[in-house]
Chain A
Amino acid sequence: MSGYRKYFTKKILWFAVTFIVAVLLNFILPRLMPGDPVAVIVSKNAQGMSESTAVIEMYKQYAEEFGVNDPMIVQFFTYFKNALRGDFGVSFSQYPRKVSNIISEAVWWTVGLQLPAIIFGWLIGNILGALAAYLKKGFDKVLMPVSLFLSSIPAFGMAVILLVLFAVKLEIAPTSGGYGFDMIPNFSWSFIRSIISHYQLPFWSIVIYIIGGQALGMRSMSIYELNADYVKYSRFLGIKDKKIVSYVFRNAMLPQITGLALSLGVMIGGALVAEIIFSYPGLGTTLLAAITMADYPLLSATTLIITMMVLITTFAIDFVYGVVDPRVKAAQIDS
């Protein structure tokens, strides 16, 4: 078996296992808690209802929908089968809309916002970090504390600051939403312009939030590589500085790729909360709505989709890493 095939098969296997565990957790965590989940939901939804028969009816309906009368294992398989088909039931708070319908609308806003923002922030952060390590002196002295401070501001804090500065004070950007509230989605210039202008603030608040941490990581990686023996040896051999620097940054970049995969969950989590500040029509806002409205099916589906997003991106990065880093192939052939 070729090295790559082995590496990718292993990764896919891991993906499958992690996916199953994720679904299992999503299913089991709310059910592990003391008390009857259906009773909790019904009591939340039945507030202010005086007729007891109606409450009982409600209980019966949700119990049916959750399948709580079946044994746990049967419940899980039903849940798993439905999740695979993308069937998450009907939303409580936006009845009779289907949960899958709500999610499929929101997910593209989030992907469209976060994927470019994270990639862009990661790139800029790495370039700045590498520059700081290479130029040292003044640039590093300024960049280091600034990135440390920027990475300390939570994404939602950044979002609020940008919102107040650019939307409320300077009035050059809209305050909320994904597009003008007076518009109906269509393919016209004015609509696309509206989407772009609503896109700016959420995008930049995520980018700035990511840049700091990445710059710091790349800086210390690059300093570490610049001090490595092969650099001194290459200098000794008289290899041009430019050439050495390209080696150094390639090597420093590799841990940064893995680092991106590992910190993806934290980044997405932070960015989702930043979405809420702008009432961006993505998963973050859906999550908030699900929690405030005690809409259990919607919450469960949203968290599952977020997990899926992180899983897929992580494994995509792993694949890229496998191709980029020659050591991966070598290691697999050796074993």
Chain B
Amino acid sequence: MKHLLQQILQSGKFLTGFIIFLFILLLMIFYPMINPGDPLQTISIGTFAPPGTYVSMYDALDTELNVFKLDNAALNRLDSVLKPEDRVEMIMWFESAGVKVDVTLNDTEALLAAWNEYYDSSIQPSGMTKAKRNYYKRLNDNITRMLATIPKVIAKISEESGELVEVRQIKSTDYINTNKVANVFNLPLGTDNFGRNVLKELASAIKTSLLIGLIAGSVATLIGLTLGLVAGFLGGLIDDFIMFITNIFTVIPSFVLLILISYSIGQEQRGAATVAVVIGLTSWIWTARAVRSQVISLRNRDHVNLSKLSGHSFFRIMVADILPYIASYVVMALILQISAAILAEAQLSMLGLGPKTTEVPTLGLMMKWSMLYSAHLNGYWWSYFPVILTIALISFSLNLMNTGLDQVFNPTLRD
């Protein structure tokens, strides 16, 4: 046993897979500790707040100021305000006004210098409509306002007279330290369509999905193992019957059975555990086939015959004489079943047959909702890409561990 473990840990593939898996587990365990609370809680009012650090504007106003004179502040300000379409329009203006300038879209400094030098609202390039000229005028005003350093005034409504009373002036050189603001928080992956914290939901979804994988994998392995052992060892009519069923279900896709059963159960009864059991019930076929063929090659070995002659019970022969030989296979099959079950849940959820949304988050449900809200078409990558990546990494790490184990147990496959 010790030797075996040593061998397994020396396998680079197993180790890589194990480390990736460990990393996912750590995320699952530790993020909820840093950021406790209900993962399904709606925190943002709008949908799909992008990832980043959020600073309360209200609190920031009452925070102590520091003054910095930075050369590039004005430029940065403009850089973030000038939309790509505005930049294109600016270059179009140069062209239609017949000004030869050599600027690129992303070089804000050069673009601005050229604009300040050449733009003149009195020029009326031929073929430009009045509306367009007005647009340029507005754009120019915006730019001038952004570059100007007039202080902004924060005012409050006076309770007595209803007039605006100045509270504070904010200059373009005023800065606050985010550490001093009362309400600052970080959303590494933004929020989703329900306004939930995506990372927190993801950590919780990984937990549920792994649990679904574990339950489904155990159910499938247990059924497959039992049927395989019974069929392979007893043979005869029982074997024929079990193989008949197995052969039929190898051809009838389990995907279809899964859909039919999940649909029949109905939305109300479909919790994560139910879905897991249903997935397990439809995916034991492979294990059963493989276990059966291994048992057939084992059942006439000398040590098994000796056990039979000694009058040992069926159960004892199974546990003592057969199982040790197929244990490595069963463990590998279980690993693959877990990864397949996680995928099956995701696909079921995408079809709308996953667990109830309001109860628990799962990887599939997160994917389904972000697709329903067309997150992929609107560029809200944070709501779907981490989910795809997580599914891929879980499955990748499990497959890698499986390949590593395979190479340890089957020397012919070693490199």
Partner-B contacts on A (CB < 8 A): 14, 17-18, 21-22, 25-26, 29-30, 32-33, 35, 37, 40, 136, 140, 148-149, 151-154, 156-157, 160-161, 163-164, 168, 175, 220, 223-224, 227, 262, 264-266, 268-270, 272-273, 276-277, 287-288, 291-292, 299, 303, 306-307, 310-311, 314
Contact = CB atoms under 8 A, between A and B. Distances in A.
Given A161-B388, A164-B381, A152 B248 contact: no
B347 A307 contact: no
B153 to A, nearest CB: 42
Interface residues of B, number: 46
Given A29-B260, A157-B388, A148 B396 contact: yes
Interface in B32-78: none
A265 B264 CA distance: 21
Contact of B413 (A149, A223, A307): A223
B88 to A, nearest CB: 16
Nearest to B266: A40
B343 A25 contact: no
B255 interface: yes
Q: Please indicate which of the listed interface residues A26, A154, A266 has the most CB atoms of chain B within 10 Å of its own CB.
A: A154
A154 B377 CA distance: 19
B257 interface: yes
Interface stretch (B144-152, B300-308, B350-358): B350-358
Given A157-B388, A299-B263, 19 more contacts: A18-B247, A26-B260, A30-B260, A33-B266, A149-B396, A152-B393, A156-B350, A164-B376, A223-B413, A269-B253, A269-B254, A269-B255, A273-B350, A276-B350, A299-B259, A303-B260, A306-B253, A307-B256, A314-B251
Interface of B: 247-248, 250-257, 259-261, 263-266, 339-340, 343, 346-347, 350-353, 367, 371, 376-377, 379, 381, 384-385, 388, 391-393, 395-396, 399-400, 403, 412-413, 415
B367 A156 contact: yes
Contacts of A26: 260
A239 B11 CA distance: 35
Contact of A149 (B351, B377, B381, B392): B392
Nearest to B395: A152
Nearest to A315: B251
Nearest to A20: B248
Q: Please indicate which of the listed interface residues A35, A224, A273, A276 has the most CB atoms of chain B within 10 Å of its own CB.
A: A273
B366 to A, nearest CB: 12
Given A268-B255, A310-B252, A168 B376 contact: yes
Contacts of B415: 136, 140
Nearest to B384: A160
A218 to B, nearest CB: 13
B252 A152 contact: no
A269 B371 contact: no
Given A164-B376, A175-B377, A224-B413, A307 B247 contact: no
A266 B266 contact: no
Contact of A148 (B352, B377, B399): B399
A277 B352 CA distance: 13
Contacts of B384: 160
Given A18-B248, A262-B250, A29 B388 contact: no
Contacts, number: 139
A136 B415 CA distance: 9
B267 to A, nearest CB: 9
Contacts of A22: 252
A227 B412 CA distance: 8
A25 B245 CA distance: 13
B389 to A, nearest CB: 8
A307 B253 contact: yes
A303 B369 CA distance: 24
A200 B88 CA distance: 31
8 contacts: A30-B264, A153-B388, A265-B251, A265-B252, A265-B256, A268-B255, A291-B351, A307-B253
Given A154-B391, A156-B367, A157-B388, A311 B350 contact: no
A30 B264 CA distance: 5
Contacts of B351: 273, 276, 287-288, 291
Contact of B400 (A32, A148, A160, A175): A148
Contact of A291 (B255, B263, B381): B263
Nearest to B261: A29
A-B complex: 6 closest residue pairs judged by Cβ atoms = A265-B253, A269-B255, A157-B388, A152-B396, A152-B395, A33-B264
A265 B255 contact: yes
B352 A288 contact: yes
A29 B278 CA distance: 13
A233 to B, nearest CB: 17
B368 to A, nearest CB: 10
A154 B263 contact: no
A291 B376 contact: no
Nearest to B400: A148
Contacts of A35: 266
Contacts of B371: 160, 276-277
Contacts of A149: 392, 396
A314 B252 CA distance: 10
A40 B247 CA distance: 33
A17 B403 CA distance: 36
Contacts of B253: 264-266, 268-269, 306-307, 310
A160 B376 contact: yes
Nearest to B413: A220
B256 A303 contact: yes
Contacts of A21: 248, 252
Given A30-B260, A224-B413, A310-B251, A152 B381 contact: no
A220 B411 CA distance: 12
Contacts of A14: 247
A17 B247 CA distance: 11
A152 B350 contact: no
Contacts of A164: 376, 381
